Amino acid sequence: MIYGIQLDSDSRCIHYHQQHDIAAMECGQCHQYFACYQCHNLVVDHDFVPISTKDTKPVMCGRCKHKLSFQQYQDKVCPYCFAQFNPKCELHEHLYFKD
């Protein structure tokens, strides 16, 4: 399940709602998937904690809801439904991943 504020059917949230903003990230503390760190920080009682890139499946495709490895996510396209991820998300990788 993907959490966030005002999610659409592809899990785009109020903060990130461009066509390719469909990758949800797992919080390293609560291990729930959120549309973005801002949604996470508004709905739970702790700040988003980056997760290891070595974690088994730290990303979830907002379109098909398959969990992805960091390596799969880096291809910028879901290997299951072929939806494209926003390439500008690289600018925020330090917020979501460590290692």
Cβ atoms within 10 Å of 36's Cβ, excluding its own: 26
| Whole-structure pTM value | 0.94
For the chain, the residue count is: 99
Predicted pLDDT at 90: 87
CA-CA-CA-CA dihedral for 14, 78, 99, 87, to nearest 10: -60
Task: Give CA–CA dist 71/8, Å, rounded.
Answer: 26
Of the candidates 39, 87, 38, 31, the one whose C-alpha atom is nearest the C-alpha of residue 60 is 31
Mean pLDDT, consecutive 10-residue stretches, the chain (99 aa), reads 97 95 97 98 97 92 97 96 94 91
**The residue type at 65:** K
